[in-house]
A and B are shown apart, each in its own frame.
Chain A
Amino acid sequence: GAGVSQSPSNKVTEKGKDVELRCDPISGHTALYWYRQRLGQGLEFLIYFQGNSAPDKSGLPSDRFSAERTGESVSTLTIQRTQQEDSAVYLCASSLGPRGEAGFGPGTRLTVL
C-alpha cells in the first residue's frame, strides 16, 4: 500500500520567508512524528501527534515552528521567518499507535539562502 508521502521534496527559500511542509501519513495510522536532520547529524525530534491527544511539542526549537494535524490525516509543519540554521531535511513518520513501528516519508530538503 501507499507509504508516507511528503511534499515538496525540495524547497529553497530566502531568509525571512515562511515555509509550509506537508506530510500524508499511512492511512489508519494514528501516530505522526516530525523530525529534523541536519547534514551529517542525527534525527532531532520536533513534534508528535497521537490521535486526539494534545500533541507533544517539546522538540520544537522556537516559536517560529508550529505544526497542525487534521484529525488522523495530513499534517503541516510551518516555519516562519526562516533562518539559515533551519536548513535541513525534515522527516515525517507515522505508526499505527504510540508503540508501533514507524514508517518514514522521503523527507523535504529545506535550504534557506
Chain B
Amino acid sequence: RKEVEQDPGPFNVPEGATVAFNCTYSNSASQSFFWYRQDCRKEPKLLMSVYSSGNEDGRFTAQLNRASQYISLLIRDSKLSDSATYLCVVNGGGNYGGSQGNLIFGKGTKLSVKP
C-alpha cells in the first residue's frame, strides 16, 4: 500500500461548484497532516494544516479521520483561480529525527475549474 494515496483526477468542475478531495495514508502513527496546492511549474504552497477537530478557512474545509486514516478537503464556490493540483501531505509518526519526521506527499489531485 502506498504511503499517501490520492485520486489523480482530473476533476473538471464549473465555477461555483463544490468539490471534495480525499486522501488515505498508511502510517497510523502519523501526527501532522496538510494540504498543499501546486500551480503548473511552480513550487507547492501550503493551503492549510489539518487538525483532528477539522478546520475551515474561508471556502476551504479540511477534515481528518484518524480511525480510517483518511483526510478530506472540501472547496465551496469554486473559483477559476482554484485550478491547481492539490497535494495531501502526511508526516511519519513518532518523535524527532529520522524517517519519522519526514513529510510524505501524495501524487496530487488535479482540479480544473471552468467558466
Residue of B nearest to A31 (CB): B101
Chain A positions 88 through 99: 1 when the CB is less than 8 Å from some CB of chain B, otherwise 0 = 000101010111
List B95-114 residues whose CB lies under 8 Å from chain A: 95-108
Chain B positions 21 through 44: 1 when the CB is less than 8 Å from some CB of chain A, otherwise 0 = 000000000011010000000111
Is there contact, CB below 8 Å, between B105 and A98? Answer: no
Expressed in whole angstroms, the Cα–Cα distance for A107 and B96 within the complex equals 26
Query: Counting chain A CB atoms within 10 Å of each CB, which of B44, B96, B101, B106 scores highest?
Result: B101
Number of interface residues of B (CB under 8 A): 25
User: Which B residues are in CB contact (< 8 Å) with A93?
Assistant: 103
User: Which A residues are in CB contact (< 8 Å) with B99?
Assistant: 48, 56, 58
Could you tell me the distance in whole angstroms from the C-beta of A58 to the nearest C-beta in chain B?
Answer: 6
Expressed in whole angstroms, the Cα–Cα distance for A56 and B87 within the complex equals 22
Number of interface residues of A (CB under 8 A): 28
Does residue A76 face the partner (Cβ distance < 8 Å to B)?
no
Could you tell me the distance in whole angstroms from the C-beta of B47 to the nearest C-beta in chain A?
Answer: 10
Q: From A33, A42, A54, A104, give the contact of B102 (CB < 8 A).
A: A33
User: Which A residues are in CB contact (< 8 Å) with B103?
Assistant: 33, 45, 48, 93, 95, 102
Q: From A48, A91, A103, A104, give the contact of B101 (CB < 8 A).
A: A48
Residue of A nearest to B85 (CB): A42
Could you tell me the distance in whole angstroms from the C-beta of B92 to the nearest C-beta in chain A?
Answer: 8
Q: From A54, A95, A104, give the contact of B97 (CB < 8 A).
A: A54
Residues of B within 8 A of A (CB): 31-32, 34, 42-46, 49, 87, 91, 95-108
Residues of A within 8 A of B (CB): 31, 33, 35, 41-43, 45, 48, 50-51, 53-54, 56, 58, 91, 93, 95, 97-107
8 nearest A-B residue pairs (beta carbon): A98-B101, A53-B97, A42-B107, A104-B43, A99-B32, A43-B105, A48-B102, A56-B99
